[in-house]
Amino acid sequence: MLRDDAGHDPYAALRLPGFRWFSASLLTQTLATQIQGVVVGWQVYQNTRDPLALGLVGLAEALPFLTMALFGGHVADRVSRRGLVLASLAVLNGSSLALLLLTVTGRIGIGGVWPVYAVLAASGVARSFLQPARTAMIPELVPPPLYHNAVGWRTSVWQFGAVIGPALGGILYTIGGATLGYLVDAALMAAAWITLAWVPSRPPLPVVAGLSVLASLREGLRFVWTRPILLSALTLDLLAVLFGGAEALLPLFAADILHVGPAGLGALRAAPAIGSVLTALVMALRPPLERAGPALLAAVTLFGLSMIGFGLSRDPLLSWFLLAIAGMADNVSVVLRATMLQVLTPPQLLGRVSSVNAIFIGSSNELGAFESGVAARLLGAVPAVVLGGVVTLLVVAITAWRVPALRKLQRIK
């Protein structure tokens, strides 16, 4: 039985079969992606010993993703979102199999790492359609009163996969090298397709007749631009992770600074997700935050401080703990931003607005990886991470000053 806040049901969204299958697909796809990330990062760095090569891993996926994401949102508002997600997952499964084939045939290493970048570019195109379509599926699976609960559980599921995936990727690489890692990656991606196929199909939403593609894209961009709170939340996340994130450099830290090997790399990559999943579970099990704006600003501040500490640390356990704290802080931002997106956006615009959100996220993650690689090449890995944390703190201060509506935001509704 669904209840209001006075009798808050923390499992309300999970009681709906369609949302459970959706969550199972998200979990297996996240596990596959995280395993692939560990294997690709370690494989590329072992073959190049170049931090810029790690940055190019992010750029190879980011450029096609950013180029196609707005169009992906346009398509998500016009076709079956479930069908679009299934097609995207099929392409991602093909990319996993391609990496497996390149490794088995010895094309990676002897022929350089450029084939890896080509496969990641194809993955970037698939993700540009996957992310807006999957985000826009939430209103098709749960009623509006459960959006906050559904976002909390969706985030928890993703973070759980992000905890297990990197650790599993490091273990698989240690046991069977890249071949075993990519084999499990491909199997899990296939499972993601199968579980999503069990989600009930919904017809596409009605669209405005005669609306051109460009006009449709402008409509989504205009919506975000005219909502200062939503725009500022997206911008805050973009700049904080763009400059403050250190995930792309973790293979370098694991190999040359902390000396913990591929298994240690898996543990480091899992640390932010462990912190994040704990926070996500707490947020899913409790009513919405009453002071959402101050919580968002405080969370990003804590993220920046944690990154500065990680850059300065030489102790593996302390480094792991600081990454976990960063993950806890980042999750608060993720849940609040995603809840804003679901609550403030009309269903017929959700695909396009989700694509704008995906561009912000994709820019911060993948372009942030490239920025980290360039900064590490120019300044060194440690100064690059510390400086990124300092810039994050400056971004929070400027946002709080320039957008008082976000600073004063109470409950999202």
Task: Give, as one character, the DSSP assignment of residue 112.
Answer: B
What does the pLDDT average to over 184-212?
A: 81
Q: pLDDT band for position 4 (50/70/90)?
A: very low
Biggest CA pair distance of the chain: 63
Could you tell me where the DSSP H helices lie in 253-362? 261-285, 292-312, 316-344, 350-362
pLDDT digits (tens, 9 = 90+) for 128-162: 899 888 988 888 898 878 877 887 788 778 878 87
Domains, the chain: 13-199+213-407 (1.20.1250.20)
What does the pLDDT average to over 92-111?
A: 86
**How many CB atoms lie under 10 A from the CB of residue 52?**
15
pLDDT score recorded for residue 207: 55
Q: pLDDT band for position 339 (50/70/90)?
A: confident
Consecutive H or E run containing 358: helix 350-362
Q: pLDDT band for position 90 (50/70/90)?
A: very high
Give yes or no for residue 122 having a pLDDT over 80: yes
Task: Give, as one character, the DSSP assignment of residue 366.
Answer: I
Residues 6+ apart with CB under 8 A from 212: none
pLDDT digits (tens, 9 = 90+) for 212-250: 567 766 777 788 787 878 888 877 877 777 776 677 788
Q: Give the span between the Cα atoms of 251 and 381, in whole angstroms.
A: 11
Q: Give the span between the Cα atoms of 28 and 187, in whole angstroms.
A: 9
Look at the pTM and tell me if it is higher than 0.85. Answer: no
pLDDT digits (tens, 9 = 90+) for 261-296: 888 887 887 788 788 778 877 776 666 667 777 888
Q: Give the span between the Cα atoms of 280 and 270, in whole angstroms.
A: 15
Give yes or no for residue 400 having a pLDDT over 90: no
